[in-house]
Structure 1
Amino acid sequence: MILEKYSSKKRAIKTITLITDLVVIGGGLSGVCAAITAARSGLKVALLQDRPVLGGNASSEVRLWSLGATSHMGNNNRWSREGGLINEILLENLKRNKEGNPLIFDTVLLEKVYEEKNITLLLNTAVYEAEKGADEKIKSVTGFCSQNSTKYIATAPLFCDASGDGIVAFLVGASFRMGAETREEFDEGFAPNIEDYGNLLGHSLYFYTKDLGKPVSYTAPSFAIKNAEELPRIKNYQLGDHGCKLWWVEHGGRLDTVHQSEDIKFELWRVVYGIWDYVKNSGKFPEAENLTLEWVGTIPGKRESRRFEGDFMLSQKDIVEQRDYYDAVAFGGWAMDLHPADGIYSELNSCTQWHGKGVYSIPYRCYYSKNIDNLFLAGRIISATHVAFGSSRVMLTCAHGAQAVGKAAAICIEEGLMPSDIASKEKIEKLQLALNRDGQSIPRLSLEDTDDLVAKAHIEASTTLEFKGFSPVDDWQTLKFGLAQMLPLKANETYSFECEVDASEATILGLQLKSSSACTHFTPDIIVDQKEIKLIQGKQKITFTTTKTQMQDHYSFFCLMKNEKVKVRLSDERITGLMTVENKINKAVSNFGRQDPPSDINVDSFEFWTPERRPKGKNIALQMTKALPVFGVDNLKNGNVRPNSNGNTNAWAAKIEDKKPRLVFNWKEKVNIKTITLFFDCDYDHALETTLMGHPEDSIPFVVADYQVKDGSGNILKQVKGNYQAINTIELEKAISTDKLIFEFVKKEAHIPVAVFKVSAYN
């Protein structure tokens, strides 16, 4: 029993002081990735999150699916899923949670943090105070945990604000922007008309429904709106839609999205319960008779508030032109996606999305404050204009950049530097190399890794695939849309393609070979050669032999143009770095087959050629007279861990009939090896949405599940079974001295050859 007598003095709250290397404020995907990356690099990290769960907008409190450059596979950004730690998290979630349960995703994130002994996690702890010294450095931040009535004072030489609203950056006086710039400031044609369109993107609130199998009545609370049928966006509602499919239930873009956030939330509650009253009681939705509300969000998904200024500010032209900078550390690829500020009450389209032709890189200089010396920025508050923010704000893009922050913090602590010091050309390559070793895949960046022993090895393979075509099966696809086989072709060479079609009547089929105008994207915006073929009724083989050649090595597109009278024969074979795409529509990301923006907004017009998700999206059963030698063992040395637009698969692949593929790495002299890393194909083109949307598999079928590693004497160094991750790092108990490494893989997928992107070995 505790009995404490009255005291005339004010009691002090329990206070705990934490001394760490890095304090991360905010436990969304960005804060989680920054904290884990830093902790794995040896730093002591404090992670302060003001909510009871991790994940931010991706958590079960909000239930928004996380997405990034893949854009629901609805744009031309091939093989663009974010790499490194966030990809590890997505693959883990796929294994456990392919149905997309947001509660399970909570546990995936919590486990990842829990397993890092270098992280002190403080949930339900809201930072409200920051102390700054005269030297423009933060000394400490103070937070309060409402659940254990404890005040925490966290001190460190480095801080990362990933809080969404930038609470710490704001408190210490860092320069920021809130709202839209004019067109003139950054020459951004897409900058909105503020009077009509507004300054900010609003909040959204989601709800789930459930079928109880019997009639359910509903009485709306008194605060619910009574005129839901008059909402301009009510036409977007479809019975059965729930969760983040209701993103258009948005409000607050003309309010202060920081200080009026609770007012915005209450208005969204009024709207949500009013919409449900309309659905249940208007008589216009008889199918809803057995439905009940299962869940309504208690905090809204916030899109935009403050954006803080770094030494570089990302803008529209960086996205549209895929500009590359010396200090690129991350990439984005979501559309420039702006919403009318009046949200649910707006007569305007729910959003306006304009895509770039490919992914764009994000400079490191966007990820730290230009005013506060020891402050990193992560998440949606990074240095970007309102227009560029429309793309960079999405969660996987934010998380990808946060990994760069975590790794940069480790270098700062190791070398006694401040964040801006890493931006020097002398230091940035160290950061970039460290990130790419972790699978970051910084676009169009090639760095020599002089410590990787594999660079000096001679590699032998049991077999190597030389691609000449796909084996046919009795499966045919009607050309409701143009269908293209993507192939890595060489400049100044001609090719011959043969495939089988079935015409319902005599018709003319258009064939094209398309390529891209630049090596920065996969958009087929150039017709290299074309031909029309007269078809008779029935099955027949057709041949397209090119007479013109493309100007550069590049992924190109053998296209069968739209003709609903024609079917083309398919194959069950799927091979790393090869895929089909269609000139189809994906309204979810404003893809109507092509985009033609207004001429004055400085955005490109082009066609969309996008993939179908498995089990669809099969390859064309085409044959080629000339083999494509694109899967050689030298690809294992080039440092890339996914296909890129300059026409490289970047993978070694065994022949499809090779059931026990083998790689042997030979050195002329013995080398000392302590760490071995393998990079497998996890289909970076597949969008791994975290919640609501399900997936056909619980692991990516291209990933090698079972294998073993041996030394030159045949000793087994590591045996792996049931792998589903893209990156496998093997830490040996002690370094070995050997002149040979042997990798023996088990082929499990009948129609998929074993493939590996990269193998690294370090002392």
Structure 2
Amino acid sequence: MIKEESKEKRMLKRIDQSADLVIVGGGLTGTCAAITAARAGITVILVQDRPVLGGNCSSEVRLWILGATSHMGNNNRWARESGVIDEIMLENIYRNPDGNPLIFDTVLLEKIVEEQNVTLLLNTAVYDLDKNPQGRENEDQITAVHAFCSQNSTQYTLSAPLFCDASGDGIVGFLAGAAFRMGAESVEEFGERFAPDKAYGELLGHSMYFYSKDVGRPVKFVPPSFALQDIKDIPRYKTFNPRDFGCRLWWLEYGGRLDTVHDTEKIKWELWKVVYGAWNYIKNSGEFPEAENMTLEWVGTIPGKRESRRFEGDYMLTQQDIVEQKTFNDTVAFGGWSLDLHPADGIYSDQSGCNQWHSKGVYSIPYRCYYSKNVSNLFIAGRIISATHVAFASTRVMATSAVGGQAVAVAAALCKKYNCSPRELGENHLKELQLELWRSGQYLPQTPVKDAENLVQNAVQITASSTLNLKELPGSDFWSPVKDSVAQMLPVVPGKAPSVTFWVDAEEAMEFKVELRKSSKSFNHTPDVTLETKHFKLVKGINELQADWESTFDEAGYAFICFMKNEKVKLQYSETRITGLVSVFNATNPAVSNYGKQEPTEDIGVDTFEFWCPQRRPEGRNIAMRFDQPISVFGTDNLTNGLHRPVSQPNAWVADLNDKSPLITVSWNEPATISKVEFVFDTDYDHPMENVIYVHPETVMPFCVSDITITNCNDQVVGTITDNHLSKRTVVFEKPVTTQHLKIRLSGSNPNVPISLMEVRCY
């Protein structure tokens, strides 16, 4: 029993803790950064002011995680973010293909608590910090942050040599005096022609979502007194659909004319008014009889924030960098979401809810955007990185932010190794930073990386029991009308384009147009260059046709065999799916601003081009074809080419379809001593894997290898992996294995997909 009385003011319980890195903000960015840093061997304190991790993707807000894949609505092929965020998304789809936001919470929490180097502080808000005194050495450095946990009435003082602000509003950077911006730059400052004017507004607002469900019986709804009484005052009221729920209601947005940091509570109340007023309209206006049996199941209690402060680093990413896909020598991350600005008036605006303008492919983000230019030990990550308002419109999305968090974490580990600042690391150890990021799974566009420690690079020979020489995509019983123009993407090497034979079923005699296209940049997948056009004379019924192309390719890339729209013609498709091959459609995608073609009506500094996008499985079959010469780009040399995914080629070794349990053998001139083996598998980087709303047709990607057995030169089993569903797996040997030949047996479970492997590394 405790009995206590005091005349003096009591003090809160206080705990002092230290680590190598303090990360403030447990959204997706901070979570990925903490996991990465811990695995890199440094100690981390992760401070989160909410009861769960994830921020906007948590069960408290329920926004889907998106990035470069853009709901499969742009031309960024094989562009899903890799590394820790990929691991999280694959684990979630394995456990949670129905997109239950509560289950996703547990995936994030489990990933954090499994890392012994991470100390997690939930419900803990940073409110102050300490810096070195002015006039002293390192006066621009933070020494500690102060935080308070409302659940245990405890004050924390958290010290570290390095800090990362992933808080969304930039609380640490703000308190530390880090240079920041809020609002939109003028057109003149950076020459960004998409920069908004005052009428459109300088900030994006917050959103609040709700979930509803049909309970099978009539349900009445009496709105609270604060609900918006006349929803028809909202210009977009006609957009309401009683079947929409969650982040499909992203356009329930407000607050861009206010201070999106300090007015958040005011914005929240206005959004509550709108949400409950909208549900009252749906239930009681009489315009939605289908809502009679529906009830309101969940309403967000905190708004999802889009924009507040942006902090200045040594470089500010601009619109031109994104549209032109600028190459940086210090690339550490990438993006690919559209330039996605919203009118500041949000739901009260009479303008479209968003303006999305895409680039022709993914873009690079330099390391200099991820640390403060004037607080020397502060990393910045998430939506607050160093970017203009227009560039931020793309970089702000969560999957892009997550790979930035991974970049910061690896940089922090190297800063400890070399006892240097973030800026000094970029100046003196950039190649090592990029190498360690590459090892962690990060994709670095147009950035060659060499790993001298990878023993496979020194192998005298890498052989396989079989290698795919693709002669055909065999036809199936599935035929489909060419309602939208469709193309088969085929990897080609320098030389003459392959001749293809294909089959169509015509309703009547007619002409059918087929084009050969390529991308103007070999690392892109926008078919914006037409090389040849052929017009085939069809007879009624099934036609076997051959396209003999005269065109040549001067570099490796993808050829697009484009079958132009004709609803009276059916194409034959194949059930065979192969790593690095995909069919794409010139169709619309209502999930994003994709109307088949991007056509700005004025010069706003973006390109005009067509969208050719894949279909979601179980659709998305390849087109049945036969080739005059085999497509032979799937050799074992791809295992050491330094690329983890298809880009201008598949970049994978692929076995013959009939070799169901292929064997790869890595051989050295002399016995090699190996401590671990790392694998990179194909988990379909076209699939965006939204963590909520969407229901996914499978829990394991069809291209993914499921089982691996590793043997030495004496055929003794030294390592295994079973039931795999992840992109990157590592086998660590209890004792180092010395062998002159390492044999790797692989198998999968999909009979229509040949076994493939992107990479194998030994250390």
- TM-score, normalised with respect to structure 1: 0.98
Contact 1:706 1:746 (8 Å CA) reproduced: yes
Cα deviation digits, residues 380-434 of structure 1 (max 9, x gap): 000000000000000000001110000000000011011111211x411101111
1:283 alignment partner AA: G
**Per-residue deviation, 1:230:** 3.1
**Per-residue deviation, 1:544:** 0.8
- SS state at 2:699 partner: coil
Distance in 2 between the 1:291 and 1:170 partners? 45
Distance in 1 between the 2:620 and 2:465 partners? 30
- The 5 Å alignment of 1:311-710 reads 311-424=314-427, 426-457=428-459, 458-645=461-648, 648-710=649-711
Are 2:164 and 1:163 aligned? no
Aligned match of 2:290: 287
Tell me which moved more, 127-136 or 269-278.
127-136
Distance in 2 between the 1:464 and 1:386 partners? 48
2:222 to 193, 201, 219: 219
Are 2:746 and 1:761 aligned? no
Distance in 2 between the 1:331 and 1:233 partners? 34
1:151 to 131, 151, 155: 155
2:429 alignment partner AA: K
Cα deviation digits, residues 170-206 of structure 1 (max 9, x gap): 0010000000000111110100112x10110000000
Are 2:194 and 1:190 aligned? yes
Cα deviation digits, residues 593-621 of structure 1 (max 9, x gap): 01011342110000000000111000011
Are 2:253 and 1:250 aligned? yes
Distance in 2 between the 1:526 and 1:33 partners? 39
Distance in 2 between the 1:459 and 1:495 partners? 28
- SS state at 1:672 partner: strand
Aligned match of 1:735: 736
Aligned match of 1:752: 753
- RMSD over aligned CA atoms reads 0.8
Following TM superposition, the consecutive aligned residue runs of length 4 or more in structure 1 with deviations greater than 4 angstroms are none
Cα deviation digits, residues 100-153 of structure 1 (max 9, x gap): 000000000000000001110000000000111132000100000000000010
Aligned match of 1:78: 77
1:86 alignment partner AA: I
Cα deviation digits, residues 186-233 of structure 1 (max 9, x gap): 110100112x10110000000000111000001111111111123111
Contact 1:138 1:372 (8 Å CA) reproduced: yes
Cα deviation digits, residues 223-260 of structure 1 (max 9, x gap): 11111123111222222000000000000000000000
Aligned match of 1:116: 115
- SS state at 2:715 partner: coil
2:197 alignment partner AA: N
Aligned match of 2:92: 93
Contact 2:325 2:364 (8 Å CA) reproduced: yes
Distance in 2 between the 1:251 and 1:132 partners? 36
Distance in 1 between the 2:242 and 2:499 partners? 49
Distance in 2 between the 1:442 and 1:103 partners? 32
1:429–1:61: structure 2 CA closer, same or farther, 3 Å change rule? same
Aligned match of 1:721: 722
Distance in 1 between the 2:237 and 2:177 partners? 42
**Per-residue deviation, 1:445:** 1.2
**Per-residue deviation, 1:749:** 1.2
Cα deviation digits, residues 485-515 of structure 1 (max 9, x gap): 0011123313211100001112211101110
Tell me which moved more, 743-752 or 287-296.
743-752
1:757 alignment partner AA: M
- SS state at 1:725 partner: coil
Aligned match of 1:260: 263
Tell me which moved more, 160-169 or 219-228.
219-228
1:310 to 306, 313, 319: 313
**Per-residue deviation, 1:587:** 2.1
2:247 alignment partner AA: C
Distance in 2 between the 1:621 and 1:581 partners? 14
Aligned match of 2:46: 47
Cα deviation digits, residues 566-605 of structure 1 (max 9, x gap): 0000111000000100000012210000101134211000
Aligned match of 1:132: 131
Contact 2:506 2:569 (8 Å CA) reproduced: yes
1:178 to 176, 182, 197: 182
**Per-residue deviation, 1:530:** 1.1
Cα deviation digits, residues 535-570 of structure 1 (max 9, x gap): 111111111111122343211201111000000001
Cα deviation digits, residues 427-452 of structure 1 (max 9, x gap): 11101111111211111111111111
Cα deviation digits, residues 334-379 of structure 1 (max 9, x gap): 0000000000000000100000000000000000000000000010
Cα deviation digits, residues 462-494 of structure 1 (max 9, x gap): 000011221111110110001100011123313
- SS state at 1:592 partner: coil
1:170 alignment partner AA: F
Distance in 2 between the 1:633 and 1:611 partners? 27
2:666 alignment partner AA: F
Distance in 2 between the 1:309 and 1:11 partners? 41
Cα deviation digits, residues 279-310 of structure 1 (max 9, x gap): 10000000000000000000010000000000
- SS state at 1:709 partner: strand
Contact 2:522 2:558 (8 Å CA) reproduced: no
2:33 alignment partner AA: A
Distance in 2 between the 1:494 and 1:310 partners? 46
Contact 2:704 2:748 (8 Å CA) reproduced: no
Contact 1:528 1:550 (8 Å CA) reproduced: no
Contact 2:128 2:175 (8 Å CA) reproduced: yes
Cα deviation digits, residues 635-664 of structure 1 (max 9, x gap): 00111110113xx21100000011220100
Contact 1:165 1:258 (8 Å CA) reproduced: yes
Contact 1:661 1:747 (8 Å CA) reproduced: no
Number of aligned residues: 757
Q: Which runs of 5+ in 2 are unaligned?
A: none
1:714 alignment partner AA: D
Aligned match of 1:58: 57
**Per-residue deviation, 1:747:** 3.6
Tell me which moved more, 740-749 or 628-637.
740-749
Distance in 2 between the 1:551 and 1:20 partners? 53
Contact 1:249 1:343 (8 Å CA) reproduced: yes
Distance in 2 between the 1:505 and 1:118 partners? 69
**Per-residue deviation, 1:715:** 1.2
Aligned match of 1:35: 34
Distance in 1 between the 2:279 and 2:617 partners? 34
Q: Which runs of 5+ in 1 are unaligned?
A: none
**Per-residue deviation, 1:518:** 1.2
Contact 2:720 2:731 (8 Å CA) reproduced: no
- TM-score, normalised with respect to structure 2: 0.98
Distance in 1 between the 2:411 and 2:384 partners? 18
Distance in 1 between the 2:523 and 2:753 partners? 28
Distance in 2 between the 1:74 and 1:173 partners? 40
1:141 to 115, 138, 145: 145
Are 2:712 and 1:711 aligned? yes
Contact 2:410 2:433 (8 Å CA) reproduced: yes
